[in-house]
Structure 1
Amino acid sequence: MSGKSNSFLDRLVQGRMLARWARAARLAPGLERAQLRQLRADAQAMRREIDRVLFTAGERLSAPLGGGDGIERPLGCDWAWRPELWRGPVFPQGIAAAESRAMIGREVTLFHDCKVSELTLRQIRNHGPQDLAPYGLKMDVFRFDGSFLSLVLDLPDAAVRGLRRNHLLRLGLTITLERPLEIFCRLNVKHGPNTEQLVRELPLAGGESFVEFDLAYTKINEKRVEKAWVDIIFEGPQMNQICAQDLSFARYPRAEI
């Protein structure tokens, strides 16, 4: 595809494609099951590519004009990351009566043990002058009859590539609460058949808070690290609105003494 996305040829191809899918939508109610199954597969493949374009466009168009991502990078930082939910539009954008293991986007999963879910999750657009991330996550918790509530973020492969015991992992979180509650962050690193865990309580003093996970306190086998994920655990979340305007990670080596 040429750089001239508004050329006559591009507009002609796009018009024909839109007409094709409009016709498919009209015919879908009367198709045989085999035809409908193939049409669904074609539509899903098309939607994956469209979603990629929409996410990239939303991420770039909502980024600050001056460039940069606003992630604090300590000295020697060799990896920094903001999950997609805080960078660009995700699907689904909201979930009502969210069940355990419900996902918002591809990287954030909700876990709880409520018998009746009165939880809602929704991606929001940040507009505050101090906001560094273009998007945020709002969670409303009403009656809560469970014993635990957590959000789990799967870290990308780049987070564990070259991971060493002299690394620190910094989790920065900008969060506002309707009512005070305790928040704990747990880093999980799987290496071979074992999983190491580090737990830190998030200090909530307004604005951005952060915790640091020092891998020197683990026994990870550096040659067998496979994956890592973080649990954000909310204690006593009932009747609360939790808004995470930003979340980011940075990895850097511990200062030598």
Structure 2
Amino acid sequence: MARIGKGWMGRALAAASLRRWTAAARDAGSTDLRVLRRQRAAARKLKARLDTLLFIADSRLSLPLPGTQAFPRPQDADWAWRPELWRGPLPERGLSSVPDKATLGTDATLFHDCTRSEITLRQTRNLRAADLAAYGLRLDVFSFDGSYLSLVIDLPPEAAQGLKRTHLIRIDTVVEMEQPLEILARLNIRHGPNTEQIVRELPLHDQEIRVEFDLAYTRLNEKRADRMWLDLIFERPQMNKVTLRDLTFARRPRADL
């Protein structure tokens, strides 16, 4: 059977069915009662299926679209970005017993020094009405015998192009946790043989989880900046589930002091 809206035959059948029900509704006031009773039974069956279709369609079409780069950013931003992991589906959605330096997608790498890994990392589909990113990242940690756990996000080369000490780098994120913990954000900027590092603690108790890195307080060699990456460092992560619903970056010039 031709599907509704699929091919010319499907569209023709859908149009013919619509005309038939339109005529039945128009003539219902004068239709023979035996015919009207049959039409009512058929209409109820059709309505039940249409209600199901509308419910599923509304749910799916209200989700953030894969690939979206829509998110709030400063008006004067000269660069903004959402990593691949939060934009679209990855070929490999998850990892279990995650080893050190395991990668998920092209942007994210997990570092730890556990002798026995009881860590899982999984891309999830965002389903909440408030979500702007299509996907999220869930980190499950059970027993943890290491001294550090860090998720590294590699920024694209464009982030370092034209980078100045007058720039501010802003990150916005949406975080959910089973148990309270601290997450440190460390921005790394490589310039020649040196690397500048700026550390901020994520304000996880604020409504907006946002931090800015002011490059004015670094010794950045603007002519040699060629790479940037972000470390998200999880303090005492054992027996916890952390979901990063979104993560975005923006770069803007700082106002003159």
TM-score (norm 2): 0.73
Q: Which runs of 4+ in 1 moved over 6 A?
A: none
Question: How far apart are the structure 1 equivalents of 2:240 and 2:207?
Answer: 18
Q: Does 1:157 align with 2:157?
A: yes
Shift of 1:108: 0.1
CA contact (8 A) 1:100 1:113 kept: yes
Alignment partners' CA distance in 1, 2:74 and 2:120: 35
Q: Does 2:144 correspond to 1:105?
A: no
Partner in structure 2 of residue 237 of structure 1: 237
- Residues 70-219 of structure 1: matches in 2 within 5 Å? 70-205=70-205, 207-219=207-219
Gapped regions of structure 2 (runs ≥ 5): 1-5, 7-61
CA distance in 2, matches of 1:68, 1:152: 22
Do the aligned residues in 2 keep the contact of 1:91 with 1:104 (CA within 8 Å)? no
Output the CA distance in 1 between the equivalents of 2:68 and 2:243. Answer: 23
Aligned mates of 2:114, 2:136 — CA distance in 1: 24
Query: What one-letter code is carried by the residue in structure 2 that aligns with 1:129?
Result: A
Report what 1:248 is aligned to. Answer: 248
Q: Which secondary structure does the structure 2 equivalent of 1:85 belong to?
A: helix
CA contact (8 A) 1:175 1:208 kept: no
Name the CA distance, whole Å, in 1 between partners of 2:218 and 2:115.
36
Taking a change above 3 Å as real, the CA distance of residues 64 and 88 of structure 1, as seen in their structure-2 partners, is closer
SS of the residue aligned with 1:164? coil
Letter paired with 2:213: F
Residue-by-residue CA offset, 1:112-137 (whole Å, 9 max, x unaligned): 00000000000000010000000000
Q: For 1:150 and 1:68, how far apart are their aligned partners in 2?
A: 26
Which is higher, the Rg of structure 1 or of structure 2? 2
Q: Give the superposition deviation at 1:73.
A: 1.4
- Name structure 1 gaps, 5 residues minimum: 1-5, 7-60
Give the whole-Å Cα distance in 2 for the aligned partners of 1:64 and 1:94.
20
Identity of aligned residues (%): 56
Partner of 2:222: 222
Which amino acid is the alignment partner of residue 124 of structure 1? T
What is the number of residues matched between the two proteins?
198
Residue 207 of structure 1 deviates from its aligned partner by: 4.7
Deviation at 1:74, TM superposition (A): 1.3
Please report how far the alpha carbon of residue 76 of structure 1 lies from its aligned counterpart in structure 2 after TM superposition: 1.1
SS of alignment partner, residue 127 of structure 1 = coil
Cα distance in 1 for partners of 2:189, 2:63 equals 33
